[in-house]
Amino acid sequence: MNPKHVLIKSALAVPAAALAHRWLPRIATAALLSAAATAAVAAPAAAARNSSAAITAGQPPGYQLVHTGPLSAPPGAESIGSAKCPAGTVVWGGGASITGGLRPQLTVNSSVPNGSGGWAAKVNNTFNTTLQFVVDAVCANKPAGYKIVSRMVDNPPNTQSHATATCPTLDVLLGGGTLSTSTALAAVLTSAWPSSSAKFTGYMDNGTTTDAKLTVFAICGQKPARYAITSNGVSLPPGMLFAGPACPTGSSVVDGGAQDPAHLPSVQIVGSTVQDASSWAVGVANDGQSAEQVDDYAVCAA
SS3 letters across 152-185: EEEECCCEEEEEEEECCCCCEEEEEEEEECCCCC
Q: For residues 176 and 214, is the Cβ–Cβ distance under 8 A?
A: no
What is the pLDDT confidence band of residue 176, given thresholds at 50, 70 and 90? very high
Q: What is the mean pLDDT of the chain?
A: 83
Report how far residue 279's alpha carbon sits from residue 247's, in angstroms, rounded to the nearest whole number: 6
| Per-residue pLDDT at 5 | 30
Percentage of the chain with pLDDT > 90? 75
162 pLDDT more than 80: yes
Q: Which CATH architecture has domain 31-38+57-301?
A: Sandwich (2.60)
Q: 17-21, 105-109, 242-246, 298-302: which has the highest mean pLDDT?
A: 298-302
264 or 41: which leads in pLDDT = 264
- The closest alpha carbon to 278, from 295, 293, 294, 256, belongs to 256
Rounded distance, CA 190 to CA 266, Å? Answer: 8
Q: What is the rounded average pLDDT of the residues 181-197?
A: 96
- The angle at the Cα of 298, spanning 295 to 302, to the nearest 5 degrees, equals 165
Give 149's pLDDT tier (boundaries 50, 70, 90). Answer: very high
Q: Where are the domains of the chain?
A: 31-38+57-301
Q: What is the mean pLDDT of residues 106-127?
A: 95
More confident residue, 181 or 39: 181
Distance CA(237)–CA(217), nearest Å, equals: 30
* Distance, C-alpha 212 to centroid of its chain: 21
Taking the chain, what is the end-to-end CA distance rounded to the nearest angstrom? 39
Q: What is the arithmetic mean of pLDDT over 49-63?
A: 63
pLDDT bin (cut points 50, 70, 90) of residue 32 is very low
Give yes or no for residue 222 having a pLDDT over 80: yes
